[in-house]
Homo-oligomer: A and B are copies of this chain.
Amino acid sequence: MDFYEVIRTRRSIRSYKPDPIPEDVLTRVLEAARIAPSGSNRQPWKFIVVKNEELKRKLAVACYGQMFIGEAPIVIVACGYNIHWNRGEYMGDLSMLVDVSIAFTHLILAARAEGLGTCWIGSFSNEKVKEILGIPKDVNVVAITPLGYPRDEDFGEPGPRKPLSEIVSIDKF
């Protein structure tokens, strides 16, 4: 799929068919995250592919009851290793948020290119998700998405966005 078509037609999908995702499709989606750039090529990420029904249900609860998450055949949990990059300054250990977000954006867009739906979930209990999936202390959850074929053909209109004039300036803030 053309790059611009991918970014223009991506939507947050909140209803999924139970249809399984072929292994080769899943591999391409994960591969898109794998090849993403990161600061100093540290790749401070790990992706947990959750297929177990009970775990998916628990994750949906840990996402403050967003139960549609468990409806998808797969839930992907993106984790980041806490790193301290001296020059990151104010970001401290959380500069890994940048790296993991780059890789997860690759994954979300690749899913769209494959006809799969996703919904970037930022609202979750980090501690509860860590407990459910056995994530170690020095690792944090950055993002979660359900992954599956959208139930509806019509993805709807995109949400409103600020105009370029409001988010772009020349030479000064």
Show the binding face of A for B, using Cβ within 8 Å.
Answer: 1-4, 6-8, 10, 12, 27-28, 30-37, 39, 41, 43, 45-52, 55, 64, 79, 85, 87-91, 94-95, 97-98, 101-102, 105-106, 109-110, 113, 120, 122-127, 133-136, 139-140, 142-143, 158-164, 167-173
Contacts and interface: CB of A to CB of B under 8 A. Distances in A.
Q: Which of A110, A135, A169 has the most B CB atoms < 10 Å from its CB?
A: A169
Q: How many copies does the complex hold?
A: 2
Given A41-B159, A87-B124, A162-B43, A173 B101 contact: no
B47 A168 contact: yes
Secondary structure call for the A interface? mixed
A97 B87 contact: no
A85 B158 CA distance: 22
A3 B113 contact: yes
Nearest to A35: B161
A91 B87 contact: no
A47 B163 CA distance: 12
